[in-house]
Amino acid sequence: MLLSTRDLTSGYGRVPVLRGVDLDVAEGEIVALLGVNGAGKTTTLRTVSGVLPTWSGTVTFDGVTLGARTPEARARLGLGHVPEGRGILSSLTVRQNLRLGATARGRGARDVAQDEERLLDVFGALRDKLAAPAGSLSGGQQQMLAVARALLGRPRLVMVDEMSFGLAPILVTQLLGLVARLREESGTAFLLVEQNSAVLDIADRAYVLAGGAVHTSGPARELAGSENLVRAYLG
Ligand SMILES: Nc1ncnc2c1ncn2[C@@H]1O[C@H](COP(=O)(O)OP(=O)(O)OP(=O)(O)O)[C@@H](O)[C@H]1O
Ligand SMILES: [Mg+2]
């Protein structure tokens, strides 16, 4: 497995949120993480990326037990995180934001311009906006920028928190299509937190979190076929 969490617990202050999360993402896999508001989806991503400390249990990435490693150290191992609210620096230009993504590779990263070109082929809407302040982009374009920036770090796995939030359905379909294409072309794995059922069209497997633990998991196609589940957890 590329990423595994076992009996993972964490929370805020002394308040527990995750109560033993077991989750796997294989090399090149697209996995959806679903659940109602407050289920612990964002907390799971934050704990895996090291923004929040692990209380107990383990996070293993590419064979390395992450323990107390910093978010920067995790990024250098190839773990990308697009946080809730995107984390775009709105006063910097689109190109400057993109280049920041390459810092995850450490100093002297090579082929950054080439990688940027490849990503701009996929995220065409960003090409005309490279010199514009990122804050002037539309919501969908900002999501593209956030994902492209994470990918410029050449991660093995990118975790994206609610990529489809606030976007029109047609844009959601388009962005998910781009993610599927990126996985095909680069073999990058994705862990996608979503409340939008369209994610099940591109995901291989899905997990439903409830009350800080895994409630259900299985092939995305099977979960998509369960009407009750889709009605309870997805828009
Ligand atoms: N910064 C924080 N401080 C204290 N408690 C928090 C904080 N962030 C989240 N929580 C609590 O942790 C629990 C899980 O929140 P989390 O953000 O992980 O849920 P989520 O599944 O991402 O929900 P949503 O779909 O609304 O984004 C909730 O009960 C929430 O109130
Ligand atoms: Mg959340």
- Write the pLDDT tens digit of every residue in 103-116: 888 777 778 899 89
How many A from CA of 51 to the centre of ligand 2? 14
Q: Is residue 135 part of a domain?
A: no
The whole domain housing 199 covers: 3-86+154-233
Residue 85: per-residue pLDDT:
80
pLDDT for residue 54: 98
Q: Does the residue 215 lie in any domain?
A: yes
Atom of ligand 1 nearest to the CA of 209: 21
With respect to residue 42, please indicate whether it lies within any of the assigned structural domains: yes
Give domain status of residue 108, yes or no: no
Q: Would you state the pLDDT for residue 174?
A: 87
- For residues 138 and 175, give the distance between their C-alpha atoms in angstroms, rounded to a whole number: 14
Residue identifier of the C-alpha nearest atom 5 of ligand 1: 12
Residue 212 Cβ inside 6 Å of ligand 1? The answer reads no
The structural domain count of the chain equals 1
Q: Is residue 119 part of a domain?
A: no
d(CA 131, ligand 1 centre) in Å = 35
Q: Summarize pLDDT for 118-134 with one digit per residue, the tens.
A: 889 888 999 999 999 99
- Amino acid letter at 97? N
User: What is the distance in angstroms between the CA of the first residue and the CA of the last residue of the chain?
Assistant: 30
Ligand 1 lined by 42 (C-beta under 6 Å)? yes
Cβ atoms of residues 160 and 82 within 8 Å: yes
On whether residue 123 sits in a domain, the answer given is no
Q: Whole-angstrom Cα distance, residue 176 to residue 29?
A: 14
DSSP count for the chain of H helices, then E strands = 8, 10
167 found inside a domain: yes
Residue 235 has pLDDT above 80, yes or no: no
Within a domain: 53: yes
- The residue whose C-alpha atom lies closest to atom 27 belonging to ligand 1 is 37
Cα 44 to Cα 5, 62, 142, 193: the distances in Å are 10, 18, 23, 10
pLDDT digits (tens, 9 = 90+) for 63-101: 999 999 999 999 999 999 999 888 889 999 999 999 999
Ligand 1 site, residue 235, Cβ cutoff 6 A: no
Ligand nearest to the backbone CA of 44: 1
CATH number at residue 22: 3.40.50.300
